């Protein structure tokens, strides 16, 4: 199946073009846009990890290494589309227009972090695996029935393909030709479980065959390849062509979360150099003579200042209220939840 679903690439690890048919579409403007957004979210990601290690942020799910997948896909969307992220897709949501302060608040346990911007249709991050996929399909179907051109994208990891919600969402999307993109970031592991122990399929993309929809496999560290694959899928969805499954093959450098030790189950010595999504597009720009170090340094400074300002604003909020764990799930609190709340505060001595 890897021959039926080959991994599409536009630029190689060294930044040189490997698909000459796309050469004229690789403009300086697009390259800088992708590079800028990838730098922004990497800076955010590294800052969030530092904050967690300092006790200033809660448990955090890093995404460094997956920037091309998240930025390339999100930049292909329009403002009225829908994004259904996992707990690891804040790079995509920030690119799509999510509020950075609220994103930090989410990781600090504040309820405000789950309140999406009024300017963007962004579902709160899904922590249960694959539950957001039927939600995305439903939103896309609703937009279809309303007669709009808006589409939805569901982000999910390779582990989600082992869940029933993935297959139910795929089937529903296929039957109703919902304008939805099912965007898989295959980083090879579902926490500590390698993909070879999750499925006997050679690729995730081939799972599209069973549901009668296109399946596309791309190099998830090639921002150009992701962007144009996503543009094609979005165009197909808007024109009534139905759903697409995209498998972006990538690699996350760090841990599953800041509570994880990946060295116990995988090789942490994999190269971070030429395969790195930011390094790759920077090499492309240098080879084409469109890279400007002064512009890049100004961009980095701007992102650092933006993130420091967002952190300062996040830290002006009070600590999360433990009552929020109990008070906002049910209209009428069940007796067992009331007892859990009482027990919690008793144990705290309140």
**Distance of alpha carbon 149 from alpha carbon 77, whole angstroms:** 12
Tell me which fold the domain 20-319 belongs to: Rossmann fold (3.40.50)
Report the pLDDT value the prediction gives residue 329, as an integer from 0 to 100. 83
Cα angle, residue 249 at apex, residues 238 and 188 outer, rounded to 5°: 130
Interior/surface letters 202-219, b for 16+ CB within 10 angstroms, e for the rest: ebbbbbbeebebbbbbbb
pLDDT value of residue 116: 80
User: By C-alpha distance, which of 245, 153, 253 is closest to 201?
Assistant: 245
Which H or E element spans position 193?
strand 193-194
Mean pLDDT of 229-257: 96
Name which of 150-159, 296-305, 323-332 the model is least confident about.
323-332
Helix, strand, coil % in the chain, rounded to nearest 5: 50, 10, 40
Catalytically annotated residue among 265, 266, 288, 300: 265
Is 256 a catalytic site residue? yes
Which residues, other chains included, contact 200 with Cβ-Cβ below 8 Å and sequence gap of 6+? none
217, 236, 252, 280: which one is catalytic? 252
Residue 1 has pLDDT above 70, yes or no: no
Tokens in use for 278? 């930011």
- Rounded to whole angstroms, how far apart are CA atoms 350 and 344? 9
Where do the structural domains in the chain lie, given as residue ranges? 20-319, 321-350
Q: What is the pairing mode between strands 215-219 and 244-249?
A: parallel
- For residue 2, what pLDDT is reported? 67
pLDDT band at 275 (very low <50, low <70, confident <90, very high): confident
Q: What secondary structure letter does DSSP report for 269?
A: T
pLDDT in tens, 36-72: 999 999 999 999 999 999 999 999 999 999 999 999 9
- Mean per-residue pLDDT for 13-17? 95
Residues of the chain with pLDDT > 90: what percent?
A: 86
| 227 in active site | no
pTM over 0.85: yes
Residue with tokens 């800088």: 32
Average pLDDT taken over every residue of the chain: 95
In the β-sheet with 180-186, what is the strand arrangement from edge to edge? 121-122, 82-84, 152-157, 180-186, 244-249, 215-219
Question: Which of 20-24, 124-128, 274-278, 335-339 is predicted with the least confidence, judged by mean pLDDT?
Answer: 274-278
- DSSP code for 17: B
Mean predicted confidence (pLDDT) in 331-340: 94
Amino acid 118: pLDDT: 85
Assess whether 60 carries a catalytic annotation.
no
| CA–CA separation, 103 and 34 (whole Å) | 21
Q: What is the token pair recorded at 269?
A: 């010595």
Per residue in 142-200, pLDDT tens? 999 999 999 999 999 999 999 999 999 999 999 999 999 999 999 999 999 999 999 99
341 half-sphere exposure, CB direction, 13 A CA radius:
15
Tell whether the model's pLDDT for residue 132 goes beyond 70: yes
Instruction: Say yes or no to pLDDT of 247 above 80.
Output: yes
Task: Read off the DSSP letter of residue 291.
Answer: -
Q: Are residues 216 and 182 in contact, defined by beta-carbon separation less than 8 angstroms?
A: no
């Amino acid at each position: 199946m890897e021959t039926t679903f080959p991994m599409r690439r536009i630029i190689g690890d060294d930044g040189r073009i490997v698909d000459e048919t796309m050469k004229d579409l690789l403009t300086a403007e697009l390259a800088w846009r992708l590079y800028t957004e990838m730098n922004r979210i990497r800076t955010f990601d590294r800052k969030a990890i530092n904050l967690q290690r300092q006790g200033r942020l809660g448990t955090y799910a890093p995404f460094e290494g997956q920037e091309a997948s998240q930025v390339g896909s999100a930049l292909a969307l329009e403002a009225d589309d829908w994004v259904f992220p996992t707990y690891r897709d804040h790079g995509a949501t920030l690119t799509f227009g999510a509020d950075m302060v609220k994103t930090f608040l989410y990781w600090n346990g504040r309820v405000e972090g789950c309140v999406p911007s009024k300017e963007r249709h962004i579902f709160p991050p899904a922590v249960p695996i694959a539950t957001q996929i039927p939600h995305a399909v439903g939103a896309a179907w609703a937009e279809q029935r309303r007669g709009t051109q808006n589409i939805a994208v569901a982000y999910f990891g390779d582990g989600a393909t082992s869940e029933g919600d993935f297959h139910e969402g795929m089937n529903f999307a296929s039957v109703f030709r919902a304008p939805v993109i099912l965007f898989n970031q295959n980083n090879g592991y579902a926490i500590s479980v390698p993909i070879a122990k999750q499925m006997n399929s050679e690729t995730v993309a081939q799972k599209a065959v069973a549901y009668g929809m296109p399946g596309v496999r791309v190099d998830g560290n090639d921002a150009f390849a992701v962007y144009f694959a996503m543009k094609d899928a979005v165009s197909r969805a808007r024109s009534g062509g139905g759903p697409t499954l995209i498998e972006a093959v990538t690699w996350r450098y760090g841990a599953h979360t800041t509570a994880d030790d990946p060295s116990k189950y995988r090789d942490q010595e994999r190269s971070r150099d030429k395969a790195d999504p930011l390094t790759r597009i920077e090499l492309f720009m240098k080879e084409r003579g469109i890279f400007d170090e002064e512009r890049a340094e100004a961009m980095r400074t701007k992102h650092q200042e933006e993130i420091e300002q967002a952190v300062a604003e996040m830290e002006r909020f009070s600590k999360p209220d433990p009552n929020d764990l109990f008070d906002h799930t049910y209209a009428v609190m069940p007796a067992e939840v009331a007892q859990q709340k009482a027990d919690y505060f008793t144990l705290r001595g309140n």
